[in-house]
Amino acid sequence: MKSPIGSVRTNHTLSKINKDWTMDQAEKTMMENLHKISGKPLTDWIEIVKQKQFAKHGDILKFLKEEYGLTYGYSNLVAHKSMGTDAGSAENTNDLIDKQYVGKEHFRPIYERLMKEIAEFGSDFEIAPKNAYVSLKRKRQFAILQPATKTRFEIGINLKGQEPTGVLELIPGTNNMCSHKIKIESEKDITPEVINWIHLAYNKSN
């Protein structure tokens, strides 16, 4: 697979992609499906969660999965909406990204570089900033970009069934947002191999 590294993306196209940080069609579909399978609209689930006054995202996930049998995806949707940590609930989605890099400012150039390279794949994907990461989606999520710690940036990639090799590591478990991950410590770690793995996930997500 040819790597897009070294290509140039126009500011106009990047600006167009940046404007797509609102709720995307995949999320709307999830809301509709949640209503169909559970008999309750998202607003009802948010009210159920708020009555419990959970302080942590993980507590909401556990509650919905154990008490109501919701899958991770639907539980995650309700948790984000009830806590206002999703892109659609934020007044300014740029603020979500800025907050991710507080104390981790040295990783911001990595994020910007990755976004420039990924923009070369096409303009048919959604950029959905969350509280701790940025989700990239076409018909389904193909990657997440996350400053995981002060010393490690992680790229989550959805490539189910792919044998881990090279920089690609398998994420153990079955209820993860991504099947694999790539650890990045500095901008020099953004190699053609890294971009190619993301590109493969992008191609498979349509």
The three-state DSSP-derived secondary structure of 149-175 is CCCCEEEEECCCCCCCCCCCEECCCCC
> pTM for the full model?
0.60
Contacts 24+ apart (CB under 8 A), 93-98: 93/21, 93/22, 93/129, 94/129, 96/129, 96/130, 96/131, 97/129, 97/134
Alpha helices in 69-180 (DSSP H): 72-83, 93-100, 108-118
Could you give the C-alpha distances from 121 to 167, 177, 180, in angstroms and in order? 21, 22, 20
Sheet containing 134-137: give its strands across.
126-129, 134-137, 141-146, 153-157, 180-184, 169-170
User: What are the tens digits of pLDDT across the range 143-198?
Assistant: 999 999 999 999 999 999 999 999 999 998 766 889 999 999 999 999 999 999 99
12 pLDDT higher than 80: no
Report d(CA 164, CA 179) in Å as an integer: 10
Alpha carbons 133 and 110: distance in angstroms, whole number = 13
Q: In which element (H, E) is residue 13 found?
A: helix 11-18
Confidence check: pLDDT of 24 > 60: no
Q: What is the pLDDT at residue 86?
A: 65
25-36 pLDDT, tens per residue?
A: 667 788 898 999
Q: At residue 146, what is the residue type? A: Q
pLDDT value at 56 more than 60:
yes
Q: For residue range 64-92, what is the model confidence (pLDDT) as tens digits?
A: 999 999 988 888 889 888 887 665 565 55
- Cβ atoms of 133 and 100 closer than 8 Å: yes
Q: pLDDT-based confidence at 13, cuts 50/70/90?
A: very low
Inter-axis angle of helices 57-68 and 42-52, nearest 10 = 110
Higher pLDDT pick, 21 / 95:
95
